[in-house]
């Protein structure tokens, strides 16, 4: 596992559908797919999905990872 060079938190990389490494937080999160959602998750297969990160647990679309840029305390 790597660490963010800016904030020092643990990250890991998922290769996106277009072949680029995306730094992500290592914790899995539930997501609710929503094309107009403000949040993004990266799926294990590398797909990046627009979503919401809250909702009824039994109606969740699946599990993904939050891109680290969304939570890094030192910005991009």
Q: With bands split at pLDDT 50, 70 and 90, how would you rate the model's confidence at 72?
A: very high
The answer to whether 31 and 41 have CB atoms below 8 angstroms apart is: yes
Going by C-alpha positions, the residue among 1, 2, 8 that lies closest to residue 71 is 8
pLDDT at 1: 86
Q: Where are the domains of the chain?
A: 2-70
Q: What is the rounded CA–CA span in Å between residue 49 and residue 40?
A: 5
pLDDT tens profile 17-54: 999 999 999 999 999 999 999 999 999 999 999 999 99
């Amino acid at each position: 596992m790597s660490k963010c060079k800016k904030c020092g938190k643990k990250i890991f990389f998922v290769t996106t559908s277009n072949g680029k490494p995306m730094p992500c937080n290592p914790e899995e999160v539930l997501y609710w797919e929503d094309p107009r959602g403000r949040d993004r998750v990266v799926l294990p297969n590398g797909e990046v999905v627009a979503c919401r990160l809250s909702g009824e647990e039994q109606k969740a679309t699946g599990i993904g990872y939050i891109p680290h840029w969304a939570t890094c305390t030192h910005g991009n």
